[in-house]
Amino acid sequence: MKDRNIRKNHKKLFGILAGIAVFLVIIFYVALTRSGHWLIQEDSFKHVKWAVILDGQTADLERNDFAATLMAEGKIDSIIILGRRVYRTKSNADYYAEDFMQLGKFDEGAVFLARHDDPSTISEAYTIIPWLKLHKIDTVLLITAAPATKRAVRIFQTLSGETPVYISADIHHHQYYADSWFFNRESRKNWLHEWAALAHSHWDLMGKDTLDAADSTYEKKIRSLASEAEDEPFIDLQQLQQKISTADTTSKDTAAATVTEPDSTKKDTTNNSAKQEQP
């Protein structure tokens, strides 16, 4: 009887261990197949008036491509390009905007620049939210890396309150594939980083109050390319040099044409009078 009880207990123990092993395999499978999608917030929309490109693009400028496609299709009307300062007088926003304008014939009055020194998404939110509230914008499309969309939307929505409403989309860049992130090194790095960043954002937002239009600490203005062109017009130095060279050549030709030769009649009259005076 004792041996039977021991065998039964062993069978129960093995059954429990087998059940735990199966449960862990299921959890591991779900983590591999679905956790990559849990970082992404994919919102369907037909049209929004405003979109914001957050800083942090790769050399491919994939967020520019995504935004330019939406603007060309008429799904967004205006866009704000954020970029931190990288040189003494230059910002990432300047380079992003230059590339963006080459992707289509876009209205310069609809492309806005926000130059900043913000090191994080939360800092960018503090920069842009008061401006959005000041202009009473109701819905904003946040364009950022796919695994950062859920975190970015949560940060902006928490600090904004009820308005504006923020949506996002997957830009489908090759550095992150939600279905097969575990097969790609860059995708694995982004997966791990964004899960840690998402967890840390809960700590950062703890006890934070919502921002209002009067809470802006932004020193520089957020202006459109058209407004900046009026204040600081673009000067093509090559064309300017050509115009100066042409003007100099024309002035020299004119001056040469106005120079008159000595009057031969005066010389002859002088000579005749001299001859008459001789004895």
Query: Does residue 72 sit in the same domain as residue 150?
Result: yes
Structural domain including 14 reads 1-38
Query: Does residue 105 sit in the same domain as residue 213?
Result: yes
Least confident interval from 36-50, 121-135, 242-256: 242-256
DSSP 267: H
- The b/e string for 72-87 (b: 16+ C-beta within 10 A; e otherwise) is eeeebebbbbbbbbee
Q: Answer with the residue of higher pLDDT: 108 or 233.
A: 108
Res 27: pLDDT: 85
d(CA 76, CA 62) in angstroms, rounded, equals: 17
Query: Does residue 33 sit in the same domain as residue 145?
Result: no
Query: Does residue 101 sit in the same domain as residue 145?
Result: yes
The whole model's pTM is what?
A: 0.75
Q: What domain count does the chain have?
A: 2
| 252 band by pLDDT with thresholds 50, 70 and 90 | low
Res 275: pLDDT: 42
| Domain annotation covers residue 257 | no
Instruction: Give percent of the chain above pLDDT 70.
Output: 78
Across 88-94, average pLDDT: 90
Query: Does residue 7 sit in the same domain as residue 70?
Result: no
Query: Does residue 30 sit in the same domain as residue 142?
Result: no
d(CA 23, CA 251) in angstroms, rounded, equals: 90
Query: Does residue 81 sit in the same domain as residue 202?
Result: yes
Query: Does residue 129 sit in the same domain as residue 168?
Result: yes
| Domain annotation covers residue 252 | no
Query: Does residue 92 sit in the same domain as residue 128?
Result: yes
| Domain annotation covers residue 265 | no
d(CA 86, CA 68) in angstroms, rounded, equals: 24
CATH of the domain at 213: 3.40.50.620
d(CA 174, CA 187) in angstroms, rounded, equals: 9
Across 157-182, average pLDDT: 91
Res 257: pLDDT: 58
Residues 6+ apart with CB under 8 A from 243: none
| Domain annotation covers residue 249 | no
Other beta carbons within 10 Å of 155: 26
Query: Does residue 126 sit in the same domain as residue 56?
Result: yes
Phi, psi (degrees; rounded to nearest 5) at 64 = -60, -45
136: left (phi over 0), alpha (psi -120 to 50) or beta: left
| 62 band by pLDDT with thresholds 50, 70 and 90 | very high
Q: What is the pLDDT of residues 97-146, one digit of tens each?
A: 999 999 999 999 999 999 998 889 999 999 999 999 999 999 999 999 99
